[in-house]
Amino acid sequence: MRRFVIILSLLMAGTPAFAFKDAKVTEKLSSFKREIPTFKTSSEKLDALEKFRDFLADHLSQMPKPKTKAQKALFADLNEFQAAVFSIRMDKIDQQNCRENRETLASLRIPDPTQEDGKMPATPALQEALSILLLLCR
């Protein structure tokens, strides 16, 4: 199981980040994901996560206020991603924290009673947040 997670993480780390149609976010996300495996300690990883969160919050609050339908859709996507990344909370990286955070992120899927497990599939924004968590917990 552990080996599978490691392989999956490596594959994920090599995958380009989901394109948010926002060059800055896409680029920053890619570099952050490439960076995570290079950190040696938990605190280094968590510091990097915090910096990435700072970037997201600053970037979104400085974007021009969306006016068109397309701008609003992009802004909503970015905020969905921010909310998911902000839902990852760990004071240290251990098995229990990783499991709890995985469950928390999974619970952000939109309820849909017609689906087998009562939830819609994870959206691209949520999948990106899950891939960050996976890298942190590797």
Partner 1 sequence: MRTRRSFFLLLCLLSASGFGLGRFTPAGEIQRIDLSSYQAYSLKDLMPAIEAAVGQIERAEKIPVVLSVGPTPPSSDQPVPAIPVEAPPIVVVPETTVPEQVEVTPTLPTPPAVVVEEPTLPAETTVRPAPRPEREAAAPPLESVPRPMPRPDRITEQAPAPEGTCDNCAEHVRMSSLRYMECGSRNNYLETELAGIKSGNTILGTLMRRGPRENAAIKASCVKAGLETVFGANSSTFVNCAPGKNTPATGKRRACVSENYFTLTHNTIDLVSRCMAPYLSPNKADQRTDLRLLLGLMAQESGLHFNAGNGSGASGMGQLTQDAIDAVNRLEMTNIRTHLAQQGGDCAKLATDLMQGRPPMRGGLTYRCDRMSLSRGNPALNLIYTMGNLKLSKRQLERSIFDDNRYKDVFAGLSTSERNRLETAIVVWSHNTGVGGMQTPLTALLNSSYRGKKRITDVNAFLAELKQAHRDYPHSVYRGKAHAIREKSGYYSAVSQRLSDIEKHAGGGSCVAL
Closest CA to 12 of 122, 128, 92, 115: 128
The residues near 71 (Cβ < 8 Å, ≥ 6 apart) are 64
User: Any contact of residue 48 with partner 1 (CB under 8 A)?
Assistant: no
Is 108 an interacting residue with respect to partner 1 (CB under 8 A)? Answer: yes
Alpha-carbon torsion angle 17, 22, 24, 25, nearest 10? -50
- Residue 119 has φ and ψ, to the nearest 5°, of -135, 150
The answer for residues whose C-beta is within 8 angstroms of residue 79's C-beta and 6 or more apart is 60
Contact with partner 1 (CB under 8 A): which of 2, 3, 65, 92?
A: 65
One-letter amino acid at 116 equals E
Say which DSSP state 122 is in.
Answer: P
> Does the footprint of partner 1 cover residue 51 (CB under 8 A)?
no
Closest CB 33 distance from partner 1, rounded Å: 20
43, 51, 79, 94: which one binds partner 1 (CB under 8 A): 79
**Under the criterion CB under 8 A, does residue 55 sit at the interface with partner 1?**
no
107 binding partner 1? (CB under 8 A): yes
**What does the binding site for partner 1 look like in residue numbers (CB under 8 A)?**
53-54, 57, 60-63, 65-66, 72-73, 75-77, 79-80, 82-84, 86-87, 89, 100, 103-104, 107-114, 117-120, 123-126
